[in-house]
Structure 1
Amino acid sequence: MPDRISVAKTYKLYIGGAFPRSESGRSYPVRDARGAFLANAAQASRKDVRDAVAAARKAFPGWSGATAYNRGQVLYRVAELLEGRREQFIAEVAAGEGKRSQSIVDAAVDRWVWYAGWSDKVATVLGASNPVAGPYFSFSVPEPTGVVGVLAPQSSSLLGLVSVLAPVIATGNTAVVITSQDRPLPAITLSEVLATSDVPAGVVNILTGRTAELAPWLASHADVNALDLTGAPESLRTDLERAAAGTVKRILRARSGEPDWTRQPDISRLRAFVETKTVWHPMGV
């Protein structure tokens, strides 16, 4: 009996809750840590960036309008599904990063849970009831910024990705993510998790391809409100900041020194993409 030929997986983009191929029809080879061929991933184009931003903008009112408690439940459901596909993530991270991956995957799941737990606590920690000299109530409340463009870390294909994506959507934003260029497979598997979870279509959109090609279009897009440059190559950062300045985007730069996904998380990333709205209300008689 002849040996069976396994079914090769077709890796696609994740836009608006669907899995389209790149409109350009392009793909590029993904190799493991030793240089051996793993798969062909879709190579997104400028048009795919525009489609992803449109999907994120469409999803923003519903996601930002959901209760913080509900968003936390939705994120926790993602963690449950991540745990269920743990072995697949371990294999993909090991292939791409060439290191022991069990602890990395466990840390990624735990970090997703950590941010899920913060969803309904951010307003209490970052908001305030302000003392005023008059018959008024004054409240300061954090609100999501809007559509956030995220350049995922290049070297950390899962833990780094979770560390930059989870806080963006936990605070009510929607996201367009450009994955690690050379290690996109865990991000694609994460998109399958998101598609089968309770995360509404368009809240997270994941693009694979060449960072240098896609990032400038994301940075200059007028309907993107903020940009996380954590995974931007050093040679691109100045140009991306200039492009983002044209539409007055909020920018999160990568921290100097040790990457923050190698440490315990804190609320700095939750704070990065919220804006404080102050409301005045007259006191009743």
Structure 2
Amino acid sequence: MSDRLSVFKTYKLYVGGKFPRSESGRVYEVTDAKGTWLANAPLSSRKDARDAVVAARKAFGGWSGATAYNRGQILYRVAEMLEGRREQYVREVAEAEGLSKSKAAAVVDAAIDRWVWYAGWTDKIAQVVGGANPVAGPFFNLSTPEPTGVVAVVAPQDSSFLGLVSVIAPVIATGNTAVVVASEKAPLPALSLGEVLATSDLPGGVVNVLSGRTAELAAPLAAHQDVNAIDLTGADAALAKELEIAAADNMKRVLRPGRAGTDFAADPGTVRLTAFLETKTVWHPTGSLGASGSSY
């Protein structure tokens, strides 16, 4: 039948495990590659950005304190949920990036595979970047990676889903929490990702998704004293320079555009996994067990 009313989707932000509208009440039109209207997306304000940082900080203790194995299980659960909504993402990516259905399907499949790939790294990265260090003395000297904290992520502008997954997954796989500024021109796949995260086992606040003007949102995040790091992948050269200067105020870790590469279809390696990790080194005296003198 052709007399049904059109049921348009209302896209909302994803902050602290909930779906608020922008506190400003603003929205902006999102169009496809041909200029056809797709939806109204929330036009986030600076207050929304600050709220997202509060939610990310609140979630950090529990998420960073979870075992790496548990984080891997949760990330894999997210991949399962993405697979179940594959057709939705194929449609959204096709519209967002002006791709054919077959090309969009390939992008979505690659994004889901990428999420699984990072899920597998959660309990392995410590063995790659940590270990025992030789020292001249009766001591154990052990280095282990720890998450940096709250990471602001400026998502890629032109890769609305594969690029998005490629910048979010490594941040949370290593125990950080994220405040994500979605692609300004193609935010809908990112906002839909919030729906998947909310119905997976990921605790609220671990990932927070904002849509709106990239420069308007990234500036307060770069200057925010409770943000520990920032990924500038989706910022152009002028904006990236401005954000890097603001980030220096509290010595944020900064992942510059291009450092990790912009070909999101390529093997990502471990650059993004290690970008927001700190190394903790612990000294411990060796001892003996009984008369044997064996060290422990």
TM-score by length of 1: 0.98
RMSD of equivalent CA atoms: 1.2
Runs of 4+ in 1 over 4 A off after TM superposition: none
Go from structure 1 to structure 2 and tell me whether the alpha carbon gap of 1:185 and 1:75 turns closer, same or farther (over 3 Å shift).
same
Go from structure 1 to structure 2 and tell me whether the alpha carbon gap of 1:2 and 1:91 turns closer, same or farther (over 3 Å shift).
closer
Equivalence for 1:237 = 240
Pick from 160, 184, 194: which aligns with 1:191?
A: 194
Equivalence for 1:11 = 11
Where in structure 2 are the equivalents of 1:117-266 lying within 5 Å? 117-255=120-258, 259-266=262-269
Percent identical among aligned pairs is: 68
Secondary structure at 1:3 match in 2: coil
CA displacement 1:118-140 (0-9 Å, x = unmatched):
00001111101011111111100
The letter for the 2-side match of 1:200 is P
Structure 2 runs not aligned, ≥5 long: 289-296
Equivalence for 1:282 = 285
Go from structure 1 to structure 2 and tell me whether the alpha carbon gap of 1:102 and 1:239 turns closer, same or farther (over 3 Å shift).
same
In structure 2, how many angstroms separate the alpha carbons of the residues matched to 1:174 and 1:21? 21
- Is the contact made by 2:260 and 2:272 (CA closer than 8 Å) also made in structure 1? no
Q: Report whether the alignment pairs 1:82 with 2:82.
A: yes
Go from structure 1 to structure 2 and tell me whether the alpha carbon gap of 1:90 and 1:56 turns closer, same or farther (over 3 Å shift).
same
1:257 CA displacement: 9.8
The letter for the 1-side match of 2:68 is A
1:254 CA displacement: 1.4
In structure 1, how many angstroms separate the alpha carbons of the residues matched to 2:256 and 2:167? 12
Equivalence for 1:46 = 46
In structure 2, how many angstroms separate the alpha carbons of the residues matched to 1:248 and 1:270? 20
TM-score by length of 2: 0.94
In structure 2, how many angstroms separate the alpha carbons of the residues matched to 1:264 and 1:106? 15
1:258 CA displacement: 5.6
Equivalence for 2:293 = none
1:17 CA displacement: 0.1
Q: Which moved more, 1:260-269 or 1:140-149?
A: 260-269
Q: Which moved more, 1:260-269 or 1:90-99?
A: 260-269
Equivalence for 1:56 = 56
Go from structure 1 to structure 2 and tell me whether the alpha carbon gap of 1:258 and 1:126 turns closer, same or farther (over 3 Å shift).
closer
- Is the contact made by 2:16 and 2:208 (CA closer than 8 Å) also made in structure 1? yes
In structure 1, how many angstroms separate the alpha carbons of the residues matched to 2:64 and 2:17? 17
Report the count of equivalent residues. Answer: 285
Equivalence for 2:275 = 272
Secondary structure at 2:7 match in 1: coil
Structure 1 runs not aligned, ≥5 long: none
Secondary structure at 2:35 match in 1: coil
In structure 2, how many angstroms separate the alpha carbons of the residues matched to 1:256 and 1:127? 22
Go from structure 1 to structure 2 and tell me whether the alpha carbon gap of 1:258 and 1:70 turns closer, same or farther (over 3 Å shift).
closer
The letter for the 1-side match of 2:94 is A
Secondary structure at 2:144 match in 1: strand
In structure 2, how many angstroms separate the alpha carbons of the residues matched to 1:86 and 1:237? 33
Equivalence for 1:20 = 20
In structure 2, how many angstroms separate the alpha carbons of the residues matched to 1:159 and 1:173? 20
The letter for the 2-side match of 1:66 is A
1:256 CA displacement: 6.1
Structure number, greater radius of gyration: 2
1:8 CA displacement: 1.7
In structure 1, how many angstroms separate the alpha carbons of the residues matched to 2:94 and 2:85? 14
In structure 2, how many angstroms separate the alpha carbons of the residues matched to 1:123 and 1:242? 31
1:264 CA displacement: 1.3
In structure 2, how many angstroms separate the alpha carbons of the residues matched to 1:257 and 1:272? 9
The letter for the 2-side match of 1:253 is R
